[in-house]
Structure 1
Amino acid sequence: MSEQNNPKLNSKIFIEGTIKALTGLHIGGNSIGMAIGGADKVVVRNPLTNEPYIPGSSLRGKMRSLLERARGDEKHNPTEGGFSLKEGKLEASAGVNSESLLGKLFGVSADKNNGQPTRLMVRDAHLTTASKKQLENAPNTDMPMTEVKTEVNIDRITSAANPRQFERVPAGAEFHFELVLTLLEGDDESQFLNLIREGLELVQNDSLGGHGSRGYGEVEFSIEKLQERTMQHYKTGEAAADVINKHQELFKNLLPEIASVGA
């Protein structure tokens, strides 16, 4: 019983690559302290370097939301999971079934559905060195490393114009991302990797951050590194093993070198 509830750690898989903004990207930050004349809605920034970044929670939350939505009400997809319905209403606090694939991948709070530890860690994505240098030297940015987009909301009754300004990371900026998948004894590696692949592709065909319906947040993922470190590696001090060839077919749509060959 104890072993079933607390399975041993088997390995960790590290997925690394770049997120390229194809359109302006806005993930909201703290507007407190903005000077007069600044943007109404600012992006989140590293408080030490003042560089814009993509919080891991934003990417992880979008992946989970789209994967749940793709499966619909979990009552009809008990194995894979989905969003929770109670008396015909979406119950956001309930989360998915802890025994479903989505419940196991993203975790379920300990006080709901018996709980489930998360298997997917999504780190904050920071600007690549090349992209940082490009944005620092860009002559036409409105704020440090970002642009300001002015939009006008028209009152349908009075026709009065209400301008608003949004800070965005410009199209073309690239961020380095890293996902860490924890595999426990008994886990099906291919099932969880396929869910991650599906989640990334869904985000690519949706949007990341705010105001996606107005063209913001179109992104492209490129996986550059896929490595696995087993418990044996940890015990002996060995480095992680490269497993990108093993999963090449699964991630083919997210590997730029394979996509270019196919073209």
Structure 2
Amino acid sequence: MTGKIIEKIIIKGKIELKSGLHIGGADFGISIGGIDSPVIRNPLTNEPYIPGSSLKGKMRSLLEKVLDVDFETFGSGKNKVKRHECNDENCKVCRLFGSSIDKNKSIPSKIIVRDSYLTKESKELLEKLDTDLPYTEWKTENSLDRITAAASPRQIERVPAGTKFEFEIVYNVENENHKKEDIENIFKLLELVEEDYLGKGGSRGNGKVEFTIEKIAKKDREYFINGNNLFEKEYGLSPKEMLNKLQEILE
């Protein structure tokens, strides 16, 4: 790992919600009849968004499961989590998502996942909703007593199905030998997220999403030094379909 940047590959597109999405935000108190679990919002605009950490964390988790890697326990108490981290520079997980398990040999993440914000069209549509909530909807869920069947209702806030967000992923090419496999894995992981879910409550129907890759841009070192060799192309394809365009991106 040299740390030098050979090239930046920028992947832009849309995330469309196929079912309501709940990514939790800060709860500053529950009023009577209010939402038990609010969504995360931009404090300046009050609009819901998808944190880059949520998408990146989901992608990493799915890659760890697919590769069936070993897990270590990090943190303590309520912050205790199990995840994979190693100092192997050829590890498909750590070279893409980063590792700091060895402070003397940390591996920086090769991808940047930006926060995803509402498209202009979705913002306008959500502003017209009559749900008593800005840009979102209520969803009432029940937890049932297994003996008496008594219901214990709770209300969560969701961004409605049909909403679209703009997303951007930047892949930093630092090793040409890893480039093809890493880009392949990014597209495959986006497809895996489609088959899984984002946010909370996926087993209860929340968080089904669909990605559309709209544009790929490549900016090499020569571009940043002299402004030359910019590659940019529009696609409008699914992550799975983008795998057929891989050679075009690599050239």
TM tier relative to shorter chain: 0.7 to 0.9
The residue that corresponds to 1:75 in the other structure is: none
Answer yes or no: is 1:120 the counterpart of 2:116.
no
What root-mean-square deviation, in Å, do the aligned CA atoms of Structure 1 and Structure 2 show?
2.6
Residue 6 of structure 1 and its aligned partner are, at CA, apart by 2.6
Residue 233 of structure 1 and its aligned partner are, at CA, apart by 0.3
The residue that corresponds to 2:128 in the other structure is: 137
* Ranges in structure 2 where 5+ consecutive residues have no aligned partner: 74-80, 244-251
Distance 1:241 1:133 in 2: 33
Residue 84 of structure 1 and its aligned partner are, at CA, apart by 2.6
Matched-pair contact (CA < 8 Å) for 1:183–1:189: yes
Superposition map of 1:180-199 within 5 A: 180-199=170-189
Distance 2:117 2:65 in 1: 28
The residue that corresponds to 2:21 in the other structure is: 25
Matched-pair contact (CA < 8 Å) for 1:152–1:163: yes
Distance 2:238 2:122 in 1: 28
Residue 93 of structure 1 and its aligned partner are, at CA, apart by 5.3
Picking from 59, 77, 84, the partner of 2:71 is 84
Matched-pair contact (CA < 8 Å) for 2:137–2:160: yes
The residue that corresponds to 1:101 in the other structure is: 92
* Ranges in structure 1 where 5+ consecutive residues have no aligned partner: 73-81, 256-263
Question: Please, which moves more after superposition, 185-194 or 38-47?
Answer: 185-194
Residue 39 of structure 1 and its aligned partner are, at CA, apart by 0.8
The 1:212–1:93 alpha-carbon spacing in structure 2 relative to 1, beyond 3 Å, is closer
SS at match of 1:151: strand
Q: How big is each residue's C-alpha offset from its partner over 1:101-156, in whole Å with a ceiling of 9 and x where there is no partner?
A: 221100111536932111011000000000000100123x2411100001111112
The 1:93–1:199 alpha-carbon spacing in structure 2 relative to 1, beyond 3 Å, is closer
The 1:239–1:226 alpha-carbon spacing in structure 2 relative to 1, beyond 3 Å, is same
The 1:133–1:84 alpha-carbon spacing in structure 2 relative to 1, beyond 3 Å, is same
Question: Please, which moves more after superposition, 7-16 or 96-105?
Answer: 96-105
Letter matched to residue 121 of structure 1: I
The residue that corresponds to 2:212 in the other structure is: 222
Distance 1:143 1:133 in 2: 14
Picking from 46, 49, 55, the partner of 1:50 is 46
Residue 31 of structure 1 and its aligned partner are, at CA, apart by 1.1
Letter matched to residue 237 of structure 1: G
Letter matched to residue 13 of structure 1: I
SS at match of 1:9: coil
The 1:56–1:239 alpha-carbon spacing in structure 2 relative to 1, beyond 3 Å, is farther
The residue that corresponds to 1:8 in the other structure is: 4
SS at match of 1:167: strand
Residue 240 of structure 1 and its aligned partner are, at CA, apart by 3.7
Answer yes or no: is 1:160 the counterpart of 2:150.
yes
The residue that corresponds to 1:253 in the other structure is: 241
Letter matched to residue 88 of structure 2: S
Residue 7 of structure 1 and its aligned partner are, at CA, apart by 4.1
Letter matched to residue 253 of structure 1: E
Residue 160 of structure 1 and its aligned partner are, at CA, apart by 2.7
Distance 2:84 2:186 in 1: 22
Distance 1:136 1:239 in 2: 42
TM-score normalized by structure 1? 0.81
Letter matched to residue 164 of structure 1: R
TM-score normalized by structure 2? 0.85
